[in-house]
Amino acid sequence: MKKIVQNLLFVFSILLVLPINIQAIETEKAENTALFKIGRSKDANEIYYTIKTTADGNLDLLYPVNIYWIKNTKGGAIEPLTRIQNTFAYGLKFLKLTTEKADFQFVSYSKRTFSLRKTKTGNFKVFTKANGTEVEVESIFIQIDGGTFWLPKIPKVELHARIPEGGEPVVEIIKP
């Protein structure tokens, strides 16, 4: 009887740990396949943008980009954007969409256009212009200094990117 109890405790302990390990694997996969991410000064949570393609490697014309949270404040849990976040803040508005290229803007900021397209190596990346030069987007950081849920006070946004050919880092400060 003691052996059965020990075996059951062992199995239950593995089952308790398993979901955490699966979540960690999914979080690591998301971080490694991201087109870019958005971080905010508000907390450690991040919004990830990953590519969605068809079986033949073309852009999915219905949903070419997956957008979701990695909630670092909740142990790396992956959560979808809410409808409000997708519609008014972090969602994307596609201006032109083909199986090879997607031009888009953020729903909350129409002053800048981004282009999702394949590089010379055949991988999809996101590009925009920073200080008049085309750059490959790596991350965006939003400084939030108070305000309200609907009208946050955002004094600056940092665009972190690289020049495609040389790989030199570029940081552009945007004052919205």
pLDDT along the chain (176 residues), means of 10: 50 41 47 87 97 94 96 96 96 97 97 95 95 95 94 96 91 95
pLDDT of residue 12: 41
pLDDT of residue 11: 40
Region of residue 81 (left: phi > 0; alpha: psi -120 to 50; beta: else): beta
DSSP class of residue 152 equals: B
pLDDT of residue 24: 45
pLDDT of residue 22: 41
Give SS3 for 3: helix
Give SS3 for 58: coil
pLDDT of residue 31: 53
Region of residue 57 (left: phi > 0; alpha: psi -120 to 50; beta: else): left
pLDDT of residue 3: 58
Residue type, 144: I
Say if pTM beats, i.e. exceeds, 0.85.
no
For residues 142 and 41, what is the distance between their CA atoms, to the nearest angstrom?
6
pLDDT of residue 100: 95
% helix, strand, coil for the chain, step of 5: 25, 50, 30
